[in-house]
Amino acid sequence: MAEKSAKWIWYPGDFEIYHGMLQNFQREERGYGWPAYWKMDDWRKNVKFTREYELEEAEEFSVHGAGQGYVEVNGKKYALGETISCAPGHTKIVVCLGNMTGLPCIYIEGSVIRSDEGWMADDFEEKLPAGTSKLYTEKEQDPNHVYYEKQVVYPVSKKQIKGGVLFDFARMVNGTVKVKTKKEQVTICYGESDREALDIQWCYYKQENVTEDSAIRKRAFRYLFVPDCKEEEIECSAVHEHFPIEVKAKFSSDDEQLNQIWSVAKETYQLCSGLFFIDGIKRDRWIWSGDAYQSYFVNPYLFFDEDINKRTILALRGNREIRQHINTIVDYSLLWLISVADHYQMTSDTAFLSEVFDKMQALIDLCESQTDENGFLYGREQDWIFIDWCDMDKTGVIAAEQMLLLKCYETMAESMELLGRTGNKYVEKAAELKKNIMKFFWDEEKGAFIDSFESGKRNVTRHANIFAILFDIADEKQTQSIVEHVLFNEDITEISTPYFKFYEMDVLAKLGYLDEVLERVKQYWGGMLKKGAVTFWEEYQPNQSEDEQYGMYGDPFGKSLCHAWGASPIYLLGRYYLGVRPTKPGYETFEVSPQPRFFKELCCTVPIKNGKVDISYQEGVLSVTADRDGGVLKMDGREWRLNQGECVKVKYSL
């Protein structure tokens, strides 16, 4: 029998819960740890792995495990690590493993008997197919450890300033610093900006009493400042750690600014993509559902890495049982649920949908338990109704939250149909909720959805209206009205956060306002480039002075200068300007509708499920090649089938 490859196995979801907690415990601020401020679900400490085989031949195998336990073969017990001989015939194997400080997991090496998804994992309450990861397939590995690729990096400049030495690595580094110094010990001040590094009081990270032998914690920075030191007294380097995920996309155009935006966005996104999508590398380094939701949009246009989505979805959600909303935020729970549907759209991965469905069900049950007589979702005392950092009328139930809930009902209905169940219940709930949204929140006079109807203020903000279009809740007439009365109405308070700006741009692009969107991309992200950004920031306000621009949340260096959601141009360019999108789940069919009118030249690649699309535009000719069947090229109302490997060339001129 051919050897199959073995994998480390664990209780499904627990790898993500364990590492998610490790990740959410990574935050550090000015010398102290800052564990995330929400309830942390726990991985299982005591797991039983089982499988039965019908062996055709005698076989030897051994079980390697992280933890303490035993192997039982047809009722006889063996130690871990022991070579176990089995006779041909029916063979029932049980491996019991406890581990209080890490993830209990095993690796089984035999020729037929090998650990993989065919094994069951049992926490003595529930028995499920074991969890695995492509990252852990070697016996010598330990799934409790994350293996980063490491790269030694050196500063590109060094200068004497303010009585100390400032090093500029000219890039964001996320790693450990090493010094060579003639001084007995030095202090290192870190900065994503030079201002931060030079501010020895307020810089976010500072390490005192550093010697050549100091083992220094991994941190993110671009600049290092060593106060009270002469240039010749110190040298430094760093070991930058990055999590290896292949970049499958390419973007090159005649617009150098756009090229640079794409490239810096790529750098930003790569840095914020580890085992999970985190918000930023300096601060918080936590897994936030809202931030991750936007990262899911970018992923198919850069990595097309299904695994990081799955890991993030599982880490955010934790165990099935749920009483607290994800990150304590009600809208983040709803976005989580919607993200599962988006992931399905990207991957057509029914197995994952099936694995995660019970957790979707428990979450929607929680949400339904907090709805009122109109079916509107309200926040409980302990809940955070976030939506955005902005002035919004949050009296009683609010519109934006109901838009998300409606999308969640639709997601539940669709997911159930995909899993062969009937989703009618949620179709009805969605219809009822939609009726009430229109009745209570649509304001015909204002031509828009109002935030709250309970207050009587009829306040209009962009948020609920953006969601209404994004999730296809508003009809065509309403959409036109929203465009006029909200999106292009200067009297409606502007979106001030990049988080919600993304949704606004997505909606504008979806509605075809591609000129406006491109203009904004170039102004907003181009503006950061002009400020010297090597990665994109958590927030950018063009009018802020240098003194103010690194501050946030009342902290002079509170702003994260390498923040995942800064990478959204990758999505916008890939989705709307190169025009690639699936038209059936998992790109079974997909569309390529590029917009050459914005470019003179293009030489781009966009990944798709199991393949890629090359798009180039040179001298008025657009060439599109997909390395997989299923695609169609659309332009100016015309369509061309994309056959595998065949280049379709279309003349295009303005």
Task: Please say whether the beta carbons of 600 and 653 come within 8 A.
Answer: no
Report the C-alpha gap between 438 and 468 in whole angstroms. Answer: 11
Q: How far apart are CA 289 and CA 277, in angstroms?
A: 9
Task: Give the nearest distance from C-beta 19 to a copy of itself in angstroms.
Answer: 10
**CB–CB of 616/609 below 8 Å?**
no
Cβ 46 to a copy of itself shortest distance, Å:
4
Cβ closest to a copy of itself, residue 332 vs residue 617: 332
Contact 227, 190 (CB under 8 A): no
Shortest gap between Cβ of 320 and a copy of itself (angstroms)?
Answer: 11
What angle (nearest 5°) sits at the alpha carbon of residue 287, between those of residues 282 and 289?
A: 130
Q: SS3 string of 20-55? A: HHHHHCCCEECCEECCCCCCCCCCCCEEEEEEEEEE
Would you say 271 and 262 are in contact if contact means Cβ atoms under 8 Å apart?
no
Q: Which is nearer to a copy of itself, 62 or 270 (CB)?
A: 62
Residue where the block lists tokens 């169609």 = 632
Measured torsion, CA atoms of residues 631, 635, 637, 639, in degrees rounded to the nearest 10: -30
- What's the one-letter identity of residue 407? K
Q: How far is the CB of 514 from a copy of itself (least distance, A)?
A: 44
Q: How far apart are CA 624 and CA 603, in angstroms?
A: 10
Task: Compare residues 80 and 534 and give the one whose CB is closer to a copy of itself.
Answer: 80
Q: To the nearest whole angstrom, how small is the minimum distance from the Cβ of residue 285 to a copy of itself?
A: 13
Q: What six digits make up the tokens of 247? A: 């970049």
Nearer to a copy of itself, 123 or 417 (CB): 123
The answer to whether 132 and 121 are in contact (CB under 8 A) is no
Q: Which chain residues interact with a copy of itself by CB under 8 A?
A: 21-22, 25, 29-40, 42, 44-46, 48, 67-71, 77-80, 96-98, 100-102, 123-125, 321, 323-324, 328, 382
Provide, rounded to whole angstroms, the least separation between the CB of residue 43 and a copy of itself.
8
Shortest Å distance, C-beta 50 to a copy of itself = 12
Cβ-based nearer residue to a copy of itself, 361 or 455: 361
**Minimum distance from CB of 98 to a copy of itself (Å)?**
3
- DSSP-derived letter for residue 118 is T
Nearer to a copy of itself, 67 or 300 (CB): 67
Residue 11: CB minimum distance to a copy of itself, A: 11
Task: Report, in this order, helix, strand and coil percent for the chain, each rounded to 5.
Answer: 30, 25, 40
- Give CB contacts under 8 A, 24+ apart, made by 480-484: 481/447, 481/448, 482/447, 482/448, 482/449, 483/511, 484/447
Q: Helical H runs in 387-482? A: 399-418, 424-440, 462-470, 476-482
**Closest distance between a copy of itself and the C-beta of residue 328, in Å?**
8
Three-class secondary structure of residue 208 per DSSP = strand
Shorter beta-carbon distance to a copy of itself: residue 204 or 296: 204
Q: Of 46 and 257, which CB lies nearer to a copy of itself in the complex structure? A: 46
Kindly list the distances between the CA atom of residue 469 and the CA atoms of 415, 481, 486, 504, 614, in Å, as whole numbers in the listed order.
22, 11, 12, 10, 30
Nearer to a copy of itself by Cβ, of 39 and 457: the residue is 39
Q: Residue 69 or 630: which CB sits closer to a copy of itself?
A: 69
63 or 334, CB closer to a copy of itself?
63
Residue with tokens 């005698």: 58
Q: What's the min distance (Å) between Cβ of 37 and a copy of itself?
A: 6
Query: Which residue is it, tokens 């991309």?
Result: 521
573 near 506, Cβ under 8 Å?
A: no
Q: How far is the CB of 640 from a copy of itself (least distance, A)?
A: 55
Residue 602 φ/ψ, nearest 5 degrees: -140, 145
CB of 382 to a copy of itself, least distance (A): 8
Between 2 and 100, whose beta carbon lies closer to a copy of itself? Answer: 100
Task: DSSP letter for 64, please.
Answer: E
Q: Rank residues 78 and 471 by Cβ distance to a copy of itself and give the closer one.
A: 78
Sign of CA dihedral 506, 508, 514, 515: negative
What is residue 575's DSSP assignment?
Answer: I
Residue 562, SS3 per DSSP: coil
Q: Quick one: DSSP state of residue 250?
A: B
Asked if residue 203 lies in contact with residue 197, where contact means CB atoms within 8 angstroms, the answer is: yes
Distance in angstroms between the alpha carbons of the first and the last residue of the chain: 62
Residue 298: Cβ within 10 Å count: 28
Q: For a copy of itself, which is the closer residue by CB, 384 or 471?
A: 384
Residue of 292, 175, 181, 277 lying closest to 230 (CA atoms): 181
Least distance (Å) from a copy of itself to the CB of residue 281?
A: 19
Min dist. Cβ of residue 100 to a copy of itself (A) = 6
Closest CB to a copy of itself among 40 and 419?
Answer: 40
